[in-house]
Structure 1
């Protein structure tokens, strides 16, 4: 396998995102955009991306604007939102894959927000399938104590307070990835206090979306020890993706002789035993797509 290749992704508004392309040794069977969780840098996914590349799958990781090696200047940190991650950054990443790898099948792997935001992508119908880990609506109303109190503290006290005092959400103070642009934190707060994640702002801030247009097969993976992803909130986010053909996979760390998966450790190099099912899914749905295309 080749070393990861640095790539610059140009968004429609001219924002240039930092990305890394992991290529297999031979022509890829399919290509994947790996959409990160809120505030998580792309290098967090390097072991997972390399593993997929070793199985013949090209993988493009990236940093959303305001995160990692992507632009963090004052204007970005003042104006970036979850919505523009979904409407600007993610479509640009997929367009890069379309330009570079068409006509091979393209897939999305979304971690948490990376799966939640896919319905905001104007070009998401080009995806052959969607795979998510840890994606739910995050609706505060469905959490049980004691996590409910932690979630309310973070969303309704920590976010507005650090936005006010520091001009950004200081997520790193709590070990939650990178500092967030204040608009990302503020919109995240509103969506988690509502219902249906982005649905909270349909018709107000969000005037166009594509959640109900997506009809692809989707693999929705959750872990038994992920306190953030409760069943009610999985149902809540899937109510937006009401036309996806969803296969739910609820896994336990004990099934793979692991101590923990939680919300983050699925992508750790120690969790490699969990990854083969994703490879099988991607290869299977790439083969099915090629066969369908050939028949026409």
Structure 2
């Protein structure tokens, strides 16, 4: 294993689906060493986060990345007809990785770094109470009225009109062919494109509510840092706060960073995990994972909590 690659693994979810991922693991166990799980954005392969995972590994963490069912390391030959909703990605897939972390790293604290929808997935697992610290980046669940005003209608057309229409025609969303992320299962597209302000009103959210009577977010009691970038058209302040509101039992801090705060012109929704920001943005997440607090010289501003 090289630090940049990790070691491949397979894990079976409770419904029998085989998930694939990567582990960066130190040779000797240490009960003080955190194991960090990285939750990907919708239809972004876990390998996108490998350099960031290697960075955490080099600073003393064990790290696990994985792909949700239907994506990357967790994709079968065809995803037509695949059962895979946003709720499945959290309640089944992330739950399986949480259980693996507890089994493979017994006694070690479990932390999570979550990008975009990955922050929502962090609240959907039944074992969320084991998460010690949580860092989210641009985390929200795509409510169209929260999109940045200057891009809202273009994004609505792309993600809430074209994407579901292409999915209806193909039986899945052919995102890779279009250069729009990875191919995406139908039920995930349905969750993403449904224009409702509450997750429990999304199709798979309604199913979960009917089955369980409540969403599991309340079980997460982690020290939570929500990082948002001012030029992220998905991760506006209302979008970030909308998701944070579900984590009612977590201690929450929302850090808003402008690209100019770190001497950049733009960062956007996907930029945080690029190695260009290893010296400016990655230490913010690392410090939170290590201490549960922000350093005195952290760039940006804290958004007041209502």
Note whether the superposition's TM-score is higher than 0.5: yes
Are 2:38 and 2:112, in contact at CA under 8 Å, matched by a contact in 1? Answer: yes
With 253-262 and 220-229 compared, the bigger mean Cα shift is at 253-262
User: Can you list the C-alpha shifts for 1:266-292, whole angstroms capped at 9, x where unaligned?
Assistant: 000111121112111111249xxxxxx
* Offset, 1:176: 2.9
Tell me what 2:37 maps to.
Answer: 33
Are 2:226 and 2:252, in contact at CA under 8 Å, matched by a contact in 1? Answer: yes
The two structures, once aligned, show a CA RMSD in angstroms of 2.1
User: Can you list the C-alpha shifts for 1:211-237, whole angstroms capped at 9, x where unaligned?
Assistant: 123222101000111111111122211
Counterparts of residues 7-156 of structure 1 (less than 5 Å): 7-24=9-26, 27=29, 29-74=33-78, 77-156=81-160
- 1:251 aligns to 2:253 (yes or no): no
* Offset, 1:149: 0.8
Q: Matched residues in 2 for 1:35 and 1:112: separation?
A: 9
Q: Matched residues in 1 for 2:50 and 2:262: separation?
A: 21
Q: Matched residues in 2 for 1:27 and 1:53: separation?
A: 13
* Offset, 1:249: 1.1
Name stretches of at least 5 consecutive residues in structure 2 with no aligned partner. Answer: 294-306
Taking a change above 3 Å as real, the CA distance of residues 203 and 173 of structure 1, as seen in their structure-2 partners, is closer
| Structure ranking higher in helix proportion | 1
Tell me what 1:176 maps to.
Answer: 180
Q: Matched residues in 2 for 1:201 and 1:221: separation?
A: 27
What is the TM-score with the length of structure 2 in the denominator? 0.86
Report the count of equivalent residues: 284
- 1:271 aligns to 2:277 (yes or no): yes
* Offset, 1:244: 1.3
Are 1:35 and 1:115, in contact at CA under 8 Å, matched by a contact in 2? Answer: yes
* Offset, 1:38: 0.2
Q: Matched residues in 1 for 2:256 and 2:205: separation?
A: 33
Are 1:215 and 1:243, in contact at CA under 8 Å, matched by a contact in 2? Answer: yes
Aligned mate of 2:190, from 186, 191, 201 = 186
Aligned mate of 2:206, from 204, 212, 222 = 204
What is the TM-score with the length of structure 1 in the denominator? 0.89
* Offset, 1:256: 2.3
Name stretches of at least 5 consecutive residues in structure 1 with no aligned partner. Answer: 287-296
Q: Matched residues in 2 for 1:112 and 1:203: separation?
A: 17
Tell me what 1:294 maps to.
Answer: none
